[in-house]
Every structure is written in structure tokens, then in C-alpha cells.
């Protein structure tokens, strides 16, 4: 079980109880309550138009949450597989897709431990999942899973370092790695001891050049980057 599973599960349980439609609405004061107004929609609209794609492209979204971006792609003729770690998210995603009459193949899976498959995708989409995948090992596994399935474009939106962001009490930002840690009660798998306090990795907030370097290190070629909005490709050697 991932150390952050309970946090994410609780988020989707609260989302369902409060009648919200997407993850972002849990944390924003100005909730849109509009399923179709998801945070990276403008980036997708602008980017997808520029990509060289077949008529009915195959797409994989990992970390799809309640599925707003997956439904957006399906409504535009993509054949979409969409996965999330949390079953409660996938239940909600299926409900929203049914309501919209779009066909998305949702399933509960962990992108970091996905067995190698033979299916290739024209687009692999990350709509704000990567910042939750914090450790070097998990991120390397994730990028391997992406690379192994990519025959087109990796389209990524991720939260980045922001000088204005305030890390509240109990959180600690390591500027060297970009890891934000959250204090925990004691030793646990994945916990680290920093100056006598135990912490779990919570988020990874990188500077743009560090994100680019990480993707290139994984063998991807970045063809567009605007801070945390990135398009990359992979040429198997
Ligand atoms: C910030 S939320 C974004 C959700 C959705 N993409 C959206 O825009 O509303 C990050 C999502 O990534 C999922 N996630 C985190 N780690 C994952 C993993 N290892 N495999 C699959 N999904 C994961 C979480 O459960 C959560 O739904």
C-alpha cells in the first residue's frame, strides 16, 4: 500500500460527500462546481491542435481522478484508457462519463507498478498527478511506464516550485530536491528523519529546468515547456 493512499482516498470520500466534481475543488476557494472546467483544459485545447495525431488516437491518462480530462479527450474522438490509484475516484469517474455519454475505459491501477504491456498510446496524459509521485524511485518507475507505452506525445501538467507558495506548519521544503515533506508520527516505510523529526515525502515542486532535466534523463525529448506544462516525445533506440 502506498504511504499516501489514505490521504488520497479520504480526499475522494470527502469529494463525494460534498457533491464536488473534481480534486481541485477540494482545495480552491473559488470552486467552479463545473466538471468540464478542469485546470489544464486550456493547455490541452491549445496543445492538442498542434499535435500530429491519427484520426482516432489512443490515449492513456494516469492519475485521472474523477476523469474530467479523460472525458474531454473521449468527447473529441480519442479512445481513452484512464487509471487512478483510488477506487473511489474511478467510481466517480465512471459516473461522470456515463452522465456525459462518453466511453472511457477506466480502471484502478498504480502507474508506478504497471506491468509492461504491449499497447502503445498516441498520447499519454498527466493532469497534475506527477507532483504526488515524490521519491526518485517512484518517479523513475513512472517515467519508465510512460516511455514503454509511448508512440506519440507525453502531455504533462504538474505543480511546480512557486516562490509565493507557503509551506504551512508541519511541512518542510527541501530546495535541493524540490521535495515537500509532511511531518509524521514516527518511523514508517518511506519516512525520513530530518533534524530529529520524522517526515513523509508529500509533493515534488521542481523548477522548470529540473523537470526538463529529469524527463531528458529518462530518455524523453521535451518539445514544448511552459513551466509545468510540457509536451515530450520518445524515440526508442
Ligand atoms: C491532484 S489529483 C488530480 C486528479 C485529476 N487528474 C484531476 O485533474 O482532477 C492526482 C491524482 O493522481 C492519483 N495518483 C496518485 N498516485 C498515483 C499512482 N501511483 N497511480 C495512479 N494514480 C495515482 C491520485 O489518486 C489523484 O487522483
The residues near 29 (Cβ < 8 Å, ≥ 6 apart) are: none
Chain position carrying cell 524527463: 215
Confidence of residue 236 (pLDDT cuts 50, 70, 90): confident
Does the beta carbon of 8 sit less than 6 angstroms from any atom of ligand 1? yes
Sequence spans of domains, the chain:
5-160+215-233, 164-205
- The verdict on the CB of residue 63 being under 6 Å from ligand 1 is yes
Higher pLDDT, 214 or 190: 214
Q: Which CATH superfamily is domain 5-160+215-233 in?
A: Vaccinia Virus protein VP39 (3.40.50.150)
Residue nearest to atom 17 of ligand 1 (CA): 85
Tell me, in angstroms, the distance from the centre of ligand 1 to residue 65's CA: 5
The average pLDDT across 178-192 equals: 94
pLDDT of the residue at 237 = 66
Whether 46 shows a pLDDT value over 70: the answer reads yes
**Does residue 1 surpass a pLDDT of 90?**
no
Question: Do residues 148 and 111 touch, judged by C-beta distance below 8 A?
Answer: no
The residue behind cell 505543480 is 159
User: How would you class 163 by CB atoms within 10 Å of its CB: exposed for 0-12, middle for 13-18, buried for 19 or more?
Assistant: exposed
DSSP helix/strand/coil, 27: coil
pLDDT band at 28 (very low <50, low <70, confident <90, very high): confident
* Secondary structure (H, E, C), 161-174: CCCCCCCCCCEEEE
- Residue listed under C-alpha cell 474511478: 90
Query: What confidence score (pLDDT) does residue 116 get?
Result: 84
For residues 31 and 21, give the distance between their C-alpha atoms in angstroms, rounded to a whole number. Answer: 10
Instruction: Report the pLDDT value the prediction gives residue 97, as an integer from 0 to 100.
Output: 98
* Element holding 3 (H helix, E strand): none
pTM of the model: 0.97
Amino acid at each position: 500500500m502506498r504511504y499516501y493512499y489514505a490521504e488520497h482516498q479520504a480526499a475522494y470520500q470527502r469529494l463525494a460527500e460534498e457533491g464536488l466534481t473534481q480534486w481541485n475543488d477540494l482545495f480552491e476557494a473559488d470552486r467552479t462546481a463545473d466538471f468540464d472546467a478542469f485546470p489544464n483544459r486550456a493547455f490541452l485545447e491549445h496543445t492538442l491542435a498542434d499535435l500530429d495525431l491519427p484520426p482516432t488516437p489512443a490515449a492513456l491518462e494516469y492519475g485521472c481522478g474523477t476523469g474530467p480530462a479523460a472525458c474531454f479527450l473521449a468527447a473529441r474522438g480519442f479512445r481513452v484508457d484512464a487509471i487512478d490509484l483510488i477506487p473511489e475516484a474511478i467510481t466517480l469517474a465512471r459516473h461522470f462519463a456515463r452522465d456525459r455519454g462518453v466511453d472511457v475505459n477506466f480502471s484502478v491501477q498504480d502507474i508506478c507498478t504497471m506491468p509492461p504491456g504491449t499497447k502503445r498510446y498516441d498520447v499519454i496524459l498527466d493532469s497534475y498527478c506527477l507532483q504526488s509521485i515524490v521519491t526518485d524511485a517512484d518517479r523513475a518507475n513512472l517515467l519508465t511506464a510512460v516511455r514503454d507505452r509511448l508512440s506519440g506525445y507525453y502531455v504533462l501538467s504538474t505543480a511546480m516550485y512557486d516562490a509565493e507558495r507557503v509551506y504551512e506548519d508541519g511541512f518542510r521544503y527541501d530546495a535541493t530536491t524540490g521535495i515537500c515533506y509532511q511531518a509524521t508520527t514516527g518511523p514508517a516505510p518511506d519516512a525520513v528523519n530530518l533534524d530529529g523529526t520524522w517526515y513523509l515525502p508529500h509533493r515534488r515542486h521542481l523548477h522548470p529546468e529540473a523537470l526538463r532535466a529529469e524527463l531528458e534523463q529518462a530518455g524523453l525529448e521535451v518539445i514544448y515547456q511552459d513551466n509545468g506544462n510540457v509536451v515530450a516525445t520518445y524515440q526508442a533506440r
